[in-house]
Amino acid sequence: MINIEIDGKQIQTENGSTVIEAAHQAGIEIPHFCYHKKLSIAANCRMCLVQVEKAPKPLPACATPVTEGMKVFTHSEQAVKAQKGVMEFLLINHPLDCPICDQGGECMLQDISVGYGGGHSRYHEEKRVVLAKDLGPLVSAEEMSRCINCTRCVRFGQEIAGQMELGQAFRSEHAEIMSFVSGSVNSELSGNMIDLCPVGALTSKPFRYKARSWELSRRRSVSAHDSLGSNLAVQTKNNRVLRVLPIENEDINECWLSDKDRFAYEGLNTADRLTKPMIKQDGKWQEVEWQVALEYAANGLRHIANGAGAEQVGALATANSTLEELYLLQKLMRGIGSDNVDFRLRQSDFSSDGKQQGAPWLGMSVSDIGRADRLLIVGSFLRKDHPLLAARIRRAAKSGAQVNIVHSADDDLLMNVAHKAIVAPDALVETLTQVSKALAAEKQGQSTGGDAGAIARSLAGGERVAVLLGNFAQQHPQAAQLQALAQQISALSNGKFGFLVEAANSVGGHLVQATPGAKGLNAAAMLATPRKAYVLLNVEAELDCADPQQAMAAMQAADMVIAMSAYKHHATEYADVLLPVAPFSETSGTFVSAEGRVQSFKGAVKPLGEVRPAWKVLRVLGNLLKVDGFDQDTSEAVRDEAMKGVDVPARLNNAIGGVEARAASAASGLQRVADVPIYATDAVVRRSAPLQATADAAIPQAWMHGDELKKLGVQSGAVVKVSQGQGSVQLFAAADDKLPKGVVRVAAGHAATASLGAMFGTISVERA
């Protein structure tokens, strides 16, 4: 610890910290633009100049390390004169367009110029003009003349997002921020540049001219789009969500937000929102009153439960439904005597059910991941599935952690990967077995060759090892074996293992037992042996299920499908009742994040039209079906009932035992590798126009190794016919030599590939 004095205040601060950090600790504000606590020091705006005793000239507080006995004056005559001088220079070229600037009212330059700017300008020459740039559908760089060249956006790209998509070109007065040749900014974290920009140079394109900052009301919320549980500030005006910003939470999202969380709100008020209950009569959809729709649904369910038997009723929900919704759904199903309820729609291997007592979770806290020094990430499209966790791991990798990958695709993670084994999906278990064996051998002092050996050596050398199973591993047909192997590997390396949980409330779904019991059918079985009636909660069968073909067949064969959805989607083809339920912004609820953090939130806006929160709809359905215990008045009451006696930390447990090794079904021909593209994960995201205009939302292609393409005799870019089961689609072929041979990567969760079959298994490709 070092003792320094700032403005006469005695401060103790850590050795190695800078003056600005010490001042902020002590609550002393030093004006600054380019300094940001999460980014490296650039010291190029010079706004934070302060007077330091015995220094001949003012020093930049952000780049001056503290020394023992240092005396700093932040508001002395010399300091203020320097700060005012810098301010005058910054304002020379800054346009006076605050009235139309989207940053107006929340602009650092505006705020600081109130304190340090002059009343008038002494500059009468022409102002600098910087031409507008097109950075893609999310970030607007229409007014680059406003830029004060702090380079926060550049440093963010380099340091946090992992790719330098913006840079500063030219020198002195001609210096300007621009993208490289490719043009747009494609990072999945690009929205953070908008927050970082201290002026209005980089603003949100979807939010452009929508509202001024002071008109918006701020509501706390929790991200519904991935399992991190990012804290959101949902900003609303006139009962519409107009913007989403991060709320700083060092343990979860720090001060960042992924583009998915930030821009998904644009999908909330689309034209295909379902606003009135509808029932299908004589093949025609009719808008009806709630009472009619609910009674119709309840009668239908009662009829089938009494006639064909309650086990003929199945309930499917997405894993981003709230805890309350999942709890009431399973309670309703069990109340009418059916045990068929599940939310693990994309999972294909359920053999761990019964062998695993606890709820699968991250296995550690989010901040533990950042502290790990050796990581093994199995089957994860890390950057796209968990953008902010990837950023955390990227930072860990930067400070020396070794990241090892076992996966079936080799996307650029924009971080140093120590070792990787990229194998076909059916070889994943074998590879992990090799790693485990090599690790055991390593313990005996024997070294093994190959990728597996290298990974094992890396893990053996670590103190804080984390083994993480990604979405791909969870959806894998041998998921239980992968889990058992991950458990083995983490035990051998004295580490922890866990799941990079798929969706916002996957852990919550397990906690409230929205999974089938001993006699119930899981999601896959419910669709494989079609039921007579289905209750769907937020599910779009052809996009959310592991096998869209099977799911659609089951839906079409069913006598009664009750779809609770926020949107009019393909359910109109197979459902009998459509009940409009609220998306996350219009209902109160709870999500349990990957690390088991239970976070409740309130609705940010009133439900649109006649939309009702799903928990209320389920509650009334419970009443109509005369099931006991459906008399909660608030979502809090539902939550308290659901979580009564649930000791969350005790319930989180990844331990698994008794998994028998099962060989993968011998694959003949090509195997499918299916990712769920980042902007295709859930209903809201899929409807967000700006997100759908990004490069990440491009129409899926059939990616293959160059040699596979040669074998087929097609060029990259040619149209190929991709078939699975009875369905086939025409896609563009594309070469990716980093894919293992014998696989085709075709994304799932997208309308263009919805007529294909399961996410894993054989797939055939031929020339179109």
Residues that bind another protein (CB under 8 A): 98-100, 104, 142, 208-212, 214-215
Residues 6+ apart with CB under 8 A from 299: none
Integer Rg of the chain from CA:
28
Q: Among residues 208 and 711, whose Cβ is nearest to another protein?
A: 208
Amino acid at 379: G
Q: Among residues 15 and 213, whose Cβ is nearest to another protein?
A: 213
Q: Among residues 145 and 600, whose Cβ is nearest to another protein?
A: 145
Amino acid at 737: D
Find tokens 């999202």 and name the residue: 253
Instruction: Cite the DSSP H helix spans in 124-258.
Output: 152-156, 192-196
Amino acid at 220: R
Minimum CB–partner distance for residue 100 and another protein (Å): 5
Q: Among residues 2 and 98, whose Cβ is nearest to another protein?
A: 98
Q: Among residues 142 and 254, whose Cβ is nearest to another protein?
A: 142
Q: How far is it, in rounded angstroms, from Cα 193 to Cα 311?
A: 52
Q: Among residues 104 and 725, whose Cβ is nearest to another protein?
A: 104
C-alpha closest to that of 475 among 439, 455, 501, 447: 501
Minimum CB–partner distance for residue 99 and another protein (Å): 3
Q: How far is it, in rounded angstroms, from Cα 149 to Cα 90?
A: 10
Minimum CB–partner distance for residue 241 and another protein (Å): 17
Q: Among residues 211 and 525, whose Cβ is nearest to another protein?
A: 211
Minimum CB–partner distance for residue 142 and another protein (Å): 8
Q: Among residues 75 and 208, whose Cβ is nearest to another protein?
A: 208
Q: Among residues 170 and 214, whose Cβ is nearest to another protein?
A: 214
Q: Among residues 207 and 350, whose Cβ is nearest to another protein?
A: 207
Q: How far is it, in rounded angstroms, from Cα 352 to Cα 334?
A: 22
Minimum CB–partner distance for residue 101 and another protein (Å): 9
386: number of Cβ within 10 Å:
28
Virtual torsion, Cα 519, 525, 530, 532, nearest 10 deg: 30
C-alpha closest to that of 194 among 211, 182, 208: 208
Q: Which helix (H) or strand (E) holds 366?
A: helix 366-371
- Per residue in 215-249, is it b (16+ CB within 10 Å) or e — as a string? ebeebebbbbbbbbbbbbbbbbeeebbbbbbbbee
Minimum CB–partner distance for residue 404 and another protein (Å): 48
Q: How far is it, in rounded angstroms, from Cα 278 to Cα 578?
A: 5
Q: How far is it, in rounded angstroms, from Cα 123 to Cα 114?
A: 18
Minimum CB–partner distance for residue 232 and another protein (Å): 25
Minimum CB–partner distance for residue 145 and another protein (Å): 15
359: number of Cβ within 10 Å:
24
Q: How far is it, in rounded angstroms, from Cα 326 to Cα 661?
A: 32
Instruction: Cite the DSSP H helix spans in 55-158.
Output: 77-92, 108-116, 152-156
Minimum CB–partner distance for residue 96 and another protein (Å): 8
**Residue 105 and residue 214 in contact, taking contact as beta carbons nearer than 8 Å:** yes
C-alpha closest to that of 358 among 111, 592, 147, 690: 592
Q: Among residues 100 and 169, whose Cβ is nearest to another protein?
A: 100
Q: Among residues 205 and 260, whose Cβ is nearest to another protein?
A: 205
Token pair, residue 132, equals: 């507008």
Minimum CB–partner distance for residue 31 and another protein (Å): 24
Minimum CB–partner distance for residue 263 and another protein (Å): 18
Minimum CB–partner distance for residue 87 and another protein (Å): 20
State CA 586 to chain mean position distance.
20
